[in-house]
Amino acid sequence: MWSVTRLGRAHRWSFRWFKTLIPVTRGKKKLELPALWDEYISAMAALERLRGEDLAFLMWGQTQGKNLQWKKYMDLLRSGVNAAAASEELLKLIKENPTHPSIGAWVKELTDFASQVKEGGIDLTAPPVQ
C-alpha cells in the first residue's frame, strides 16, 4: 500500500508534468508530444497498479485511464500533431465507451472544438505535424 506521503509526492510529480514538460514539449518539440503523453499515462497506470488492489486498478483503467487517453488526443488535435489520427481516436473513445462517466463532457469538448474550427477560430490550414 502507498503511504499518504508517497501519494502526495506522486500528485506533485503529476502536477509538474502538466505544468512543465507537456507545455514545453507542446511549444518547442511537438513531434515528441505523443510519446510524452504515452510515457505519462504509463507512469500514472504504474503508480495506480502499485496500490496493489486489482479491482481498483481495473476501475482506474476504465475511468481515469480513458480520461487520460481523451486528454492526450484532444491535446494532439489542438496542437496539430497528427490531427487526423487524434480525431479518429477521440471518436473511437466515444463510440467504445458510451456509458463512461465523462461521455457528456467528452462530446461537449469535441463539439465545442469543432464549432471553433467552423467559425474560423482555429486554423487547420497549417501544415500538420506528424
Domain boundaries, the chain: 4-118
Supply 121's cell numbers.
Answer: 477560430
Percent of the chain at pLDDT exceeding 90: 46
* Res 130 pLDDT > 90: no
Q: What is the pLDDT of residue 43?
A: 86
Q: What is the pLDDT of residue 85?
A: 93
Distance CA 74, CA 57 (A): 24
Distance CA 127, CA 89 (A): 20
Q: What is the pLDDT of residue 4?
A: 41
What is the pTM for the complete model shown? 0.81
pLDDT in tens, 43-99: 889 888 888 789 999 999 999 999 999 999 999 998 888 888 999 999 999 999 999
